[in-house]
Amino acid sequence: MKNCSTCQEKVYPFEKIETNEKWYHRRCFRCSEDGCKLTLTLQNFQCNNGLLYCNKHVPKYCPALPKAFKPSSMFPTLNPHLAQVCPNDIAISF
């Protein structure tokens, strides 16, 4: 048995949601945005810096790229969460 990543209380197997090697109570698997009370599921959650978000409130770090620019394999995504948040954009490091 592990502790909930949100409230730090014990999570029993019948009430757990597990993702990214972390356990949550179903009631604690919610958007981290202040004022948003949306209960998340494994199908609709986003994770950013270890915090849970709904699709509406996930922080957007990707700048708008020109439409003519096509992502290339020579510019890999630096942050694995970036691909989940902005699947069509890439991060470039100089």
Mean pLDDT of 58-87: 51
Tell me the pTM.
0.60
Q: How far apart are CA 77 and CA 41, in angstroms?
A: 26
Can you give the pLDDT at residue 62?
A: 56
For the record, the structure tokens of 3 come out as 């502790």
11-30: pLDDT as tens digits: 999 999 999 889 999 999 99
Q: Is the pLDDT of residue 87 over 50?
A: no
